[in-house]
Amino acid sequence: EVARSPEIQEIRLGLPIVAEEQKIMEAIYNHRVVVIWGATGSGKTTQVPQFLYEAGFGNPSSPNPGMIGITQPRRVAAVSMANRVCDELNSAKEKIAYQIRFDSSVSSKTAIKFMTDGILIREIANDFALLKYSVIIIDEAHERSANTDILIGMVSRIVDLRASMSKEDAQIKPLKLVIMSATLRISDFLENPNLFRSGAPPMVQVEGRQYPVTIHFARKTQRDYVDEAFHKVCRGHKKLPPGGMLVFLTGQNEITTLVKRLKEAFSNTEASQTAGHKVRLTASDAPLETEDLELGIGDSRYDDVGEVDEEEDDIFVEDDQEFDLEDPAPASSKIRVLPLYSQLQTKDQLRVFEPPPENTRLIVLATNVAETSLTIPGIRYVFDTGRGKERKYDRLTGVQSFEVGWISKASASQRAGRAGRTGPGHCYRLYSSAVYERDFEEHAEPEILRMPVEGVVLQLKSMDLQHVVNFPFPTPPDRRSLAQAEKLLSYLGALSPEGKITDVGRELSNYPLSPRFSKMLTIGHQHDCMPYTVALVAALATPSIFIPENQLDLSAPPKPEIYTTADRLADESRTKLKSAYNHAHHLYSRHSSTSDALKLLTALCAYAHAPSKPTFCEQMFLHPKALAEATLLRSQLSSLIHNNNPSLLPNPHQLDLPSPSKTQISALQQFTAAAFIDQIAIHHSLHPNPPDLPRTPKRAIDVPYLPLFPINQTRTSTPDLTEIAVFIHPSSILAHTPIKDLPTYIVYSHLQRAAPSTISTNESETKT
């Protein structure tokens, strides 16, 4: 039935995995779950689906009628791999399809379906047993993306479920799971008995065919690595023998810039048209891929890269990476410069696989997608900037950012390996071995451990999972925090009383924030508050906006014996500073005398009005960096909401807002309370069982409040006050309130355990 062209036949025979076809198929027949480990380029992604197809999987009249589903962490790979298999399986074109966000070629004839992991996660929500499939292949498992890890856990359970279903109903066929990985990065979870109940799955290893790659470290690590890449590639093209070049960069902007520069530098480039289009982040889109996002967050982590490079004992250093001169490319040789990133149109992506015309050097500028997902033929030289774009999370606030950072040593080695596919190659690392040793981690940590747990729980709930705590994670996050996250989500209305995801829950998952703040954004349009709510969320999500009073050095030294003029001046200036400080905070409190949250909002909005930001921060006792960050977050959230629904926020760029009305002020306080609904405490005297106080409080910060959701499980019936009560933090606006005016309830954003001291109390920081 299968007819392949002679050329394809020959290429296939050269792939290491083809020699293992029988071993792989036997393992799949004999086991529910099989792991395939083989180096990048050994043929896993293109060949394993074809082995299965030829064995009858996906054929409606076979014992395994369901489709062959194969997941990829990136869209580029899903589409181009489907295309490649389509070309290889010449005779059965209509059997192969792909599905990515907003684009699908799936039909009733589809037998092999390539898709992103996000797509399969959503399918599980609608068809928990994945009845459409007879086998699921989870590819690139070594990347340990959160989606991949979740799928491995989920599908391993579905495999068991299908086995028992098929025992009861002969119409239902079992499901197979194949996990494919380019490295041994997955070995840690193969032994996990929670994940694979009947023992570790068999692993079929495919011998890689890898030629030696010579690694050249740079002597210095330049901060402007795009510029550095430009110079290295230019020199390399002039001096290096023929062979394709692959340059690793971090994102679309860098790539398009460098494509342009290289084309300008070499007038003898072949003409080509590569129109890039800029991506906008919208909340209605499922999560974009990290490399797609150009959010313009500055990164200061490389400020010190120069220092360590001067070390003498840098044994790998080559003399300024001079290229060897034997047999250089003819001076006349042309270049073909091609970009490769996720948002590139499919037909442009596929150009990297076309052989370049004679006497033309292929130069591919790629994101991480070329690290293991795609193998570009003919690459002999790799230029590795050592950087990659990573999704970062702030654990407390859930704020996501996309930062350029150093890759891991494992990634660097994968990148270098791309030069040794067709013959011996060279990898030019644009960083020194000292930086590599000092700053590169062995492996990147699995994404699931870096994400805020609420996000993970929300994702699992979106698949209709009942018991998140029992979920077989390959690398489990902390169980207690999973349970807590589930509770929080139900308080916020994201989960129904039965623990199922609600419409609110789906809405919350659209924002790159902790669900508390997302909650504020979903209700914050009431009373025309949207622009204020966005600013409020940005302010609450940014730590240390105010310079605390104790950092001002206001305390007077002990009175000296001789009181000099200098002492007097110092005293006076302290008094002045103190009154300026009080004045600033008085201004921040002008909308509310009881709310720290509104103080933050007022400060951020005042900052937006200020003509000179540095002067304003200095005079008004604000941290400039925190204000800049909060403003950036504010703009990003504004654009996101506007793009998703323009009527909610018609003017996203307006940051200087008029003062909010009384109604708006009280609405904003209500939104905040809704987000911290589980963190409300009642004045001790109003509690149904008021506790005994050891002494009468003299200051507001000594007045106990009792959380409505207890903070500690106490075993004794008469627990110590410090175990069950919270107190107002000295930095809170409420700290100086006369005791008789203290509010009945306080809402707090976080608790801080007081350092053990003579006064044994818990202190809570309150944002009321």
> What is residue 555's DSSP assignment?
P
* Least distance in angstroms from the C-beta of 279 to ligand ADP: 24
C-alpha to C-alpha distance for 25 and 643, rounded to whole angstroms: 48
Pick the stretch among 39-47, 124-132, 423-431, 585-593 that binds Mg ion (CB under 5 A). Answer: 39-47
Closer to ligand ADP by Cβ: residue 45 or 594? 45
Pick the stretch among 37-45, 454-462, 556-564, 708-716 that binds ligand ADP (CB under 6 A). Answer: 37-45
With CB under 5 to 8 Å by kind, the binding choice for 41 among ligand ADP, Mg ion, none is ligand ADP
> What is residue 477's DSSP assignment?
P
> What is residue 287's DSSP assignment?
P
- Residue 601 binds to ligand ADP (criterion: CB under 6 A): no
Closer to ligand ADP by Cβ: residue 48 or 195? 48
Closer to ligand ADP by Cβ: residue 210 or 253? 210
Pick the stretch among 41-49, 149-157, 521-529, 699-707 that binds Mg ion (CB under 5 A). Answer: 41-49
Closer to ligand ADP by Cβ: residue 47 or 367? 47
Angle between helices 662-675 and 530-540 (to 10 degrees): 50
Residue 403's alpha-carbon distances to 253, 387, 628, in angstroms, are 14, 10, 16
The token duo for 574 is 């302290």
Site for ligand ADP in 351-410 (CB under 6 A): 353, 375, 377
Helix (H) or strand (E) holding 217: strand 213-217
With CB under 5 to 8 Å by kind, the binding choice for 192 among ligand ADP, Mg ion, none is none
Name residues whose C-beta falls within 8 Å of residue 517's C-beta, 6 or more positions apart in sequence. 397, 398, 511, 537, 540, 541, 675
Binding Mg ion (rule: CB under 5 A), the pick from 45, 134, 510, 669 is: 45
Site for ligand ADP in 494-533 (CB under 6 A): none
The token duo for 415 is 């990148």
C-alpha to C-alpha distance for 394 and 398, rounded to whole angstroms: 5
- Alpha carbon 692 to its chain's center: 48
The token duo for 208 is 């890689």
Pick the stretch among 36-44, 219-227, 245-253, 543-551 that binds Mg ion (CB under 5 A). Answer: 36-44
Interface with ligand ADP (CB under 6 A), residue total: 15
Binding ligand ADP (rule: CB under 6 A), the pick from 28, 37, 38, 453 is: 38
- Residue 45 binds to ligand ADP (criterion: CB under 6 A): yes
With CB under 5 to 8 Å by kind, the binding choice for 42 among ligand ADP, Mg ion, none is ligand ADP
- Residue 432 binds to ligand ADP (criterion: CB under 6 A): no
Closer to ligand ADP by Cβ: residue 216 or 415? 415
Name residues whose C-beta falls within 8 Å of residue 621's C-beta, 6 or more positions apart in sequence. 546, 547, 552, 580, 581, 584, 585
The token duo for 613 is 């930001």
Binding ligand ADP (rule: CB under 6 A), the pick from 24, 33, 37, 46 is: 46
With CB under 5 to 8 Å by kind, the binding choice for 377 among ligand ADP, Mg ion, none is ligand ADP
Would you say 506 and 497 are in contact if contact means Cβ atoms under 8 Å apart? no
C-alpha to C-alpha distance for 280 and 610, rounded to whole angstroms: 29
Interface with Mg ion (CB under 5 A), residue total: 2
Please calculate the CA angle 585-591-595 and round it to the nearest 5 degrees: 70
- Alpha carbon 375 to its chain's center: 25
Closer to ligand ADP by Cβ: residue 181 or 385? 181
Closer to ligand ADP by Cβ: residue 80 or 397? 80
Name residues whose C-beta falls within 8 Å of residue 600's C-beta, 6 or more positions apart in sequence. 536, 539, 540, 545, 546, 588, 767
Closer to ligand ADP by Cβ: residue 41 or 707? 41
- Residue 84 binds to ligand ADP (criterion: CB under 6 A): yes
Residue 768's alpha-carbon distances to 29, 186, 508, 672, 707, in angstroms, are 62, 46, 23, 9, 13
With CB under 5 to 8 Å by kind, the binding choice for 353 among ligand ADP, Mg ion, none is ligand ADP
Residues composing the chain: 768
- Residue 41 binds to ligand ADP (criterion: CB under 6 A): yes
- Under DSSP, is residue 237 helix (H, G, I), strand (E, B) or coil? helix
Closer to ligand ADP by Cβ: residue 42 or 290? 42
* Least distance in angstroms from the C-beta of 246 to ligand ADP: 12
C-alpha to C-alpha distance for 586 and 742, rounded to whole angstroms: 18
- Residue 71 binds to ligand ADP (criterion: CB under 6 A): no
Closer to Mg ion by Cβ: residue 45 or 749? 45
* Site residues, Mg ion (CB under 5 A): 44-45
> Where does this chain bind ligand ADP (CB under 6 A)?
15, 38, 40-47, 80, 84, 353, 375, 377
